[in-house]
């Protein structure tokens, strides 16, 4: 019974994990709006400028990921290997979510330097999984359209991460 349920949700794991950072970041800002490290205010610019970069690049990444997910369904009709779908979900779920948690903890911490090494280790792991997915599954199969979606997703997330790192360590 559990296997049947997992098989039904499996094609949607990467989509669920795709929206997790955006929703979690909005929830994070809402829950900790009064925390002094976030420097939120009631007047423009409301949030620190790097947060606008996070939002902008995060939206680009999410749109790229959504377009890629949709492209895998039409016109590819899910004719992609299960291992490829698993690699995408693995990168987003076991890399992106722990990275988000560490970044959030570092943002709220009075000593964010203690999170720097764990953040970099999870980042290296995540980049390795992304590279595996790109070089094993996408190198020969992807056309220009799907490659553009992947670049939006990867570089959008990367630039959003850099904005957040800038905020944490250079504010």
Average pLDDT in the 40-48 region?
Answer: 87
CA–CA dist 70, 79 (Å, integer): 12
Average pLDDT in the 86-94 region?
Answer: 78
| Residue 92 predicted with pLDDT over 80 | no
For 105-131, write each residue's pLDDT tens digit.
999 999 999 999 999 999 999 999 888
Q: How much is the pTM?
A: 0.84
Question: Do residues 32 and 108 touch, judged by C-beta distance below 8 A?
Answer: yes
Average pLDDT in the 36-60 region?
Answer: 92
pLDDT band for position 1 (50/70/90)? Answer: very low
- % residues pLDDT > 90 (the chain): 50
Longest dimension (CA), the chain: 53
**Ramachandran region, residue 41 (left: φ > 0; alpha: ψ -120 to 50; beta: rest):** beta
For 58-84, write each residue's pLDDT tens digit.
999 999 989 988 887 776 565 666 777
Average pLDDT in the 43-66 region?
Answer: 93
pLDDT of 96 reads: 85
Residue 37's CB: how many other CB atoms inside 10 A? 15
């Amino acid at each position: 019974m559990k296997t049947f349920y997992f098989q039904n949700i499996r094609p949607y794991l990467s989509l669920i994990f795709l929206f997790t950072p955006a929703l979690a970041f909005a929830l994070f800002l809402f829950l900790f709006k009064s925390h002094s490290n976030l420097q939120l205010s009631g007047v423009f610019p409301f949030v620190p400028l790097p947060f606008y970069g996070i939002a902008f690049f995060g939206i680009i990444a999410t749109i790229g990921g959504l377009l890629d997910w949709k492209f895998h369904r039409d016109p590819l009709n899910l004719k992609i290997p299960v291992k490829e779908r698993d690699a995408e979900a693995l990168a987003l779920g076991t890399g992106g979510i722990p990275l988000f948690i560490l970044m959030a903890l570092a943002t709220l911490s009075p000593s964010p330097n203690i999170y720097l090494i764990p953040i970099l280790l999870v980042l290296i792991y995540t980049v390795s999984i992304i590279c595996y997915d790109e070089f094993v599954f996408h190198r020969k199969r992807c056309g220009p359209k799907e490659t553009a979606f992947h670049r939006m997703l990867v570089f959008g997330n990367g630039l959003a991460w850099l904005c957040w790192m800038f905020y944490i360590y250079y504010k």
